[in-house]
């Protein structure tokens, strides 16, 4: 089997046995990434050649894809938006520091929906990314480039960000593992913000073991991030045991809805039976405020996006457009021309929505009310976790849809995240892993959710299920 088909832990075993060097592995991935990128467009920018950092403690010297909203010192970081054209951060994000300290090499900047606004990686200002299982379909979003890079063997693993499902949904569409850790478990320092109370960086990997290994590197307290939580970080690989006997798994009735693709429900129901046979105790439960999650999210998230994106005005960094004629004043005209040309349609839509819900006369009716509903959604999970250890659901209601299929219908696009959004609103950890395929040979994702900072139980259940099936062994062929 070729090097790019192997998982991170398999590659580490090869290196430890002296059968491959980190240089050989990196060269194989760099070559494959360059060779396939014209087909997948997983990367916006690829590094010219492997450059291994001066690591303080070399533990995992493997190539990684970095989503284009995670700052890498002196390297272009644009959030797939023209408004950040030419922006080179003067510092590394916390997670980048940790990757470099482990000996990892960044293979390139992965494509994404502009500013993470999307569920298909079609809103990128620099072209769409395609699903390696079917190049006529989307890879999901907004971390679609990161997911595609892993699924296509263009990177060993990747980092993405998840604001409403942007790691888990593309992981499901691309047949890999993706985790959104608990809010505060991984530092957001150096992540260009979308929704500051929702964003979380997390791993996209070939299997659950790789997910635990990468989480070990990036998790932990960071004083530079005011939302980072100072809690001890366990060795997540110790949770990888095939034992779910007696664990209580809840099945929320609100997550099995009319309109769900039959193949998705079938695969998830079969996954439930696998866990039952392993000794898990399965019970149905209710999360009654789930129906309000999408509306709540698109008020809270757009309000925070509007505030966060106000800083991009052509003054300090990125794009600056100087209009030919002055209508109001040179400064105001420069602001307007820069933001008009710099932001894409979806970014403008979310800025306008967010500005509206925060405006005088509408704040109480929309934003304040949405925050109250968010509290109710969080309480639903707190009550549920009084009865169960893990909550299980589909990751998305369908498998990957065709390029362009939902681009003209924002509401249909937003509903792609209907099952992933609640975990972000509640701040809990959630993971997607493959659990089957539909009639078009497209992957189906299984979502698991756990109590805050209980990533260990999440990984334990995921690993037990994964090892009892063979879905994770299937690879996209390009």
Candidates 81, 124, 146, 166; catalytic one: 166
Beta-bridge partner residues of 285: 252
What are 128's two structure tokens?
Answer: 């769409």
**CA nearest neighbour of 96 among 77, 115, 121, 123:** 77
Candidates 7, 22, 67, 267; catalytic one: 67
The yes-or-no answer on residue 166 being catalytic is yes
What are 444's two structure tokens?
Answer: 């189906």
Distance CA 304, CA 186 (A): 20
- Prior bond to 468 cis, omega within 30? no
Candidates 7, 102, 109, 142; catalytic one: 142
Q: DSSP E strands: which ranges in 396-442? A: 430-437
- Helix, strand, or coil (residue 348): helix
- Helix, strand, or coil (residue 246): coil
Residue 476 CB contacts under 8 Å (≥ 6 apart), including other chains: 132, 133, 151, 152, 174, 175
Q: Is 470 exposed, middle or buried (0-12, 13-18, 19+ CB in 10 A)?
A: exposed
Please say whether the beta carbons of 139 and 178 come within 8 A. no
The yes-or-no answer on residue 142 being catalytic is yes
88 CB neighbour count, 10 Å cutoff: 14
What are 25's two structure tokens?
Answer: 């592995």
Encode burial over 160-199: b for 16+ CB neighbours within 10 A, e otherwise.
bbbbbbbbbbbbbbbbbbbbbbbbbbbbbbbbbbbbbbbb
Distance CA 171, CA 40 (A): 15
The yes-or-no answer on residue 196 being catalytic is no
- Any idea which residues carry the catalytic annotation? 67, 142, 166
């Amino acid at each position: 089997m070729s090097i790019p088909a192997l998982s991170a832990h398999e590659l580490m075993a090869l290196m430890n046995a002296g059968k491959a060097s980190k240089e050989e592995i990196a060269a194989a991935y760099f070559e494959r990434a360059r060779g396939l990128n014209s087909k997948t467009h997983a990367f916006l920018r690829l590094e010219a050649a492997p450059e291994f950092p001066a690591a303080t403690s070399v533990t995992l010297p493997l190539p990684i894809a970095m989503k284009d909203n995670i700052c890498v010192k002196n390297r272009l970081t644009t959030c797939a938006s023209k408004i950040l054209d030419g922006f080179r951060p003067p510092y590394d994000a916390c997670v980048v520091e940790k990757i470099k300290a482990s000996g990892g090499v960044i293979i390139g900047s992965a494509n994404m929906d502009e500013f993470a606004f999307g569920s298909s990686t079609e809103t990128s200002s620099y072209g769409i990314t395609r699903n390696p299982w079917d190049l006529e379909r989307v890879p999901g979003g907004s971390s679609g480039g990161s997911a595609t890079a892993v699924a296509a063997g263009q990177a060993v693993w990747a980092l993405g960000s998840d604001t409403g499902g942007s790691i888990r949904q593309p992981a499901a569409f691309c047949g890999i593992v993706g985790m959104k850790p608990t809010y505060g478990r991984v530092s957001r320092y150096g992540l260009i913000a979308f929704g500051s109370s929702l964003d979380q960086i997390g791993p996209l990997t070939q299997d659950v073991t790789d997910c635990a290994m990468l989480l070990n590197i990036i998790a932990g307290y960071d004083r530079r991030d005011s939302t980072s939580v100072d809690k001890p970080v366990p060795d997540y690989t110790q949770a990888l045991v095939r034992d779910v006997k007696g664990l209580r798994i809840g099945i929320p009735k609100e997550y099995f809805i009319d309109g769900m693709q039959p193949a998705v429900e079938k695969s998830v129901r079969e996954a439930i039976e696998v866990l039952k046979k392993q000794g898990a105790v399965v019970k149905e439960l209710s999360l009654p405020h789930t129906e309000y999650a999408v509306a709540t999210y698109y008020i809270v998230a757009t309000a925070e996006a509007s505030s966060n994106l106000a800083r991009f005005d052509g003054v300090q960094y990125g794009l600056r457009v100087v209009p030919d004629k002055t209508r109001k004043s040179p400064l105001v005209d420069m602001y307007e021309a820069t933001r008009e040309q710099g932001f894409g349609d979806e970014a403008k839509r979310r800025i306008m929505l967010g500005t509206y819900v925060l405006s005088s006369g509408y704040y109480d009716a929309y934003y304040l009310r949405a925050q109250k509903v968010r509290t109710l959604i969080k309480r639903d999970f707190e009550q549920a976790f009084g009865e169960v250890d893990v909550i299980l659901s589909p990751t998305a209601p369908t498998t990957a849809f065709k390029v362009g299929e939902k681009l003209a219908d924002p509401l249909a696009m937003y509903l792609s995240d209907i099952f992933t959004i609640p975990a972000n609103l509640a701040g809990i950890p959630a993971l997607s892993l493959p659990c089957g395929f539909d009639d078009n040979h497209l992957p189906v994702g299984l979502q698991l959710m756990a109590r805050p900072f209980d990533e260990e139980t999440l990984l334990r259940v995921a690993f037990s299920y994964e090892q009892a099936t063979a879905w994770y062994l299937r690879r996209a062929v390009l």
